[in-house]
Structure 1
């Protein structure tokens, strides 16, 4: 498997790239998780988009924010891996790449995320620690987690 990374600002995304990343997010966060919510939330325009492709197919994705664009600290969100690629541990590869890109583009080592509660151990394996009680976001249990504090 040859995974290729694209890092783009919103304005640099082609219509096809934007379609593919929104399709992946909808596939996982709306259909697979059976959660009706407003995915297109206006924050994509501020984000740096990290797209992982295999043979031109978008298989993983995250959006990255500099400090004060989402949280006070830099943040990573909409972390998603296509279902058919999850057995390849791409979530871990994606998080490692996202952390590297955060440092390179934003000089950020302090990162805050809003994590789905069931993924707590996954994010802990990347150095994040829980910093809030559980809260509901779109009727899904979440926790705030921070890295580098």
Structure 2
């Protein structure tokens, strides 16, 4: 059964409207924070420093200071200082089933404590594990901003 040009146009229009509707609903659901999400840092216990591998972040007197390779220093600092998390039950089974997910080790220094705390960040899964082995889910709307934009190193070629 062949469709006329008009019927094909109608099929394309309906498919486009359905796709836009689905994408709008997904965006609405993922941009909102869950009801059980709470800030990790507050005014009393604010983020003072964060270190992820060789990259670091430090709260200066007026703005954030970062490793020279980090291009989005202010946005990266704001994302981490305003992070909200939802507590989760133990996620060890989920982590073991996803062998491709390796945690990034974070050292977090809170202003009121001054002692570095080692956290594990499962970036791909959106999970944080505290030093006390508590698990937290990072809302999808906040995950992208938590990764720094890094300057790619260039090598100078000697002319020939």
Q: Larger Rg: 1 or 2?
A: 2
Relative to the length of structure 1, the TM-score reads: 0.29
Higher helix share: 1
Q: Which structure exhibits the higher relative contact order, with contacts defined as CA atoms closer than 8 Å and separated by 6 or more residues?
A: 2
